[in-house]
Amino acid sequence: MPAPPPSGVNVLPNPSFEEGWYNLHGIPELQVPNHWNLEWDEGANPLDPDPWNAFVRPETRVLSRAFIPPHEHDLYIWEGNHTVKIFKGEGAISVRLWTSTYREPGRYRFEIKVFPDLVVGYTQDGQKIWAPDPLSGEVRLYTAAGGTGWMLPTFGTRNTFAYEFTLSQGAITQVGVALRGRWAITNNGWFVDDWSLIRLPN
């Protein structure tokens, strides 16, 4: 049996999305980080029955600094050279980005950073107008051992969320993040980077 990892070591595969990407199902608009999976809802939106707000397939990009204006590097890239953008213009989305690995028994802390780029319009000089309704964007962390409820991030800035859980025995453990934007606003965008799964001291 392998020894458990030392406490404080990040055991997520490709945690900051620096290790390449693939096109999910061969779809060019779906760039997914290697060692991660993407799921989404399509069709009727139980949060708002208006057909305009039906859930649609998102787009995803694994972006390096070369594809982001220099003045936005610190906004969206928090570790390494890449960030992941999950988005849809004028479409409601409900997505899950997840991975799974074998984990030894112990206590763990799953932590993510996310920037909700939720925009309802632009000023005359091109500045973003952030969604005014806090329900426009929600975040949920989940694992094989449980998860959080839906949480309301602050739009237009980096947010950090965490969830702690215990594994009583070794197991293939799924960890992931659900993101949803219930209305078809101008841009339902999310930047994510610098995630971690840390084994805590006993």
pLDDT in tens, 160-183: 999 999 999 898 999 999 999 999
Interval 109-136 mean pLDDT: 97
Closest-CA residue to 109 (of 170, 196, 192, 173): 196
Q: How many residues does the chain have?
A: 202
**Tens-place pLDDT, residues 146-164:** 999 999 999 999 999 999 9
Tell me the C-alpha distance between 176 and 14, whole Å: 13
Q: Which helix (H) or strand (E) holds 76?
A: helix 73-76
Beta-carbon contacts of residue 91 (< 8 Å; ≥ 6 apart): 55, 56, 58, 184, 188
Kindly indicate the confidence band of residue 6, based on its pLDDT and cuts at 50, 70 and 90.
Answer: low
Parallel, antiparallel, or unpaired for β 31-33 and 82-88? unpaired
Is the model more confident about 3 or about 14?
A: 14
Residue 15's SS3 state is: coil
pLDDT at 193 over 90: yes
Tell me the C-alpha distance between 55 and 3, whole Å: 44
How far does the chain reach from its first CA to its final CA, in angstroms? Answer: 19
pLDDT at 196 over 50: yes
**Tens-place pLDDT, residues 73-105:** 999 999 999 999 999 999 999 999 999 989 999
Q: What is the per-residue pLDDT for 68?
A: 94
Class of residue 164 by CB neighbours under 10 A (exposed 0-12, middle 13-18, buried 19+): middle
> Which residues on adjacent β-strands are paired with residue 99?
175
**Tens-place pLDDT, residues 22-67:** 999 999 999 999 999 999 999 999 999 999 999 999 999 999 999 9
pLDDT at 114 over 60: yes
Q: What is the per-residue pLDDT for 1?
A: 44
Kindly indicate the confidence band of residue 202, based on its pLDDT and cuts at 50, 70 and 90.
Answer: confident
Q: What is the per-residue pLDDT for 13?
A: 96
Q: What is the per-residue pLDDT for 8?
A: 80
pLDDT at 3 over 90: no
What is each CA distance from 171 to 32, 104, 105, in whole angstroms? 24, 7, 8
Tell me the C-alpha distance between 135 and 183, whole Å: 9
Q: Where are the domains of the chain?
A: 21-199
CATH for 21-199?
A: 2.60.120.260
Closest-CA residue to 183 (of 46, 50, 53): 53
Kindly indicate the confidence band of residue 140, based on its pLDDT and cuts at 50, 70 and 90.
Answer: very high
Tell me the C-alpha distance between 183 and 201, whole Å: 42
Tell me the C-alpha distance between 82 and 73, whole Å: 9
Tell me the C-alpha distance between 125 and 115, whole Å: 22
